[in-house]
Amino acid sequence: MSFPLYRSLPNLITLGRLVLVPAIMAMIAAQRWQAACVVFIVAGLSDALDGWIAKSFNLRSELGAYLDPLADKALIVSIYVALAIVGVLPATIAIIVVARDVMIVGAFMISWFLDKPMAVKPLLISKLNTLVQLGCAAMILAVKAFDFPAGIWFDVSLYAVAALSLASLAAYFNQWIRHMSV
């Protein structure tokens, strides 16, 4: 029995996004800002594209349900850590972003280990958080790549990333506590 390649297209796009993560990090480390910005935007757009294709053509899969959030986490965590390491982003923001994802993944793992697995289902606040995190990172890269003025939006976007990351963590934590009957 063969499986047509087009049925795997969303997952292949997601895998492509995962492959771009180390390349973007290397570009940031080398301060190749224009290349990093362009590749990051391509990676971010691929997130929207794979989701649209999966929904529009009914190509959702169990693998995709796990792979897509993994690719999002790898991209976001890596970009925030890389930007903090090169001193473009406050370390506090990177710590909040990384800690949120580590705690959410940890909660899912605990529920799985205790034979009370939770469905992988992103919350609306989490989708908004991802969008703001990607947008903030893209703006930071654009500032570095094209000498745009950093202005007040820089601080506003950092506060938005911090606030939404913490709000998203609280929402997942609340859901996890109810699920685990704590």
Predicted TM-score (pTM) of the model is 0.90
The answer, yes or no, to whether residue 1 has pLDDT greater than 50, is no
Band the pLDDT of 3: cuts 50, 70, 90: low
High-pLDDT (> 90) share of the chain, %: 83
Closest CA to 181 of 101, 90, 118: 118
pLDDT tens digit sequence for 123-169: 999 999 999 999 999 999 999 999 988 889 999 999 999 999 999 99
Dig out the tokens for 35 from the structure. 């290349």
Domain residue spans of the chain: 5-180
Structure tokens at 42: 């391509």
5-180, what's its fold?
A: Four Helix Bundle (Hemerythrin (Met), subunit A) (1.20.120)
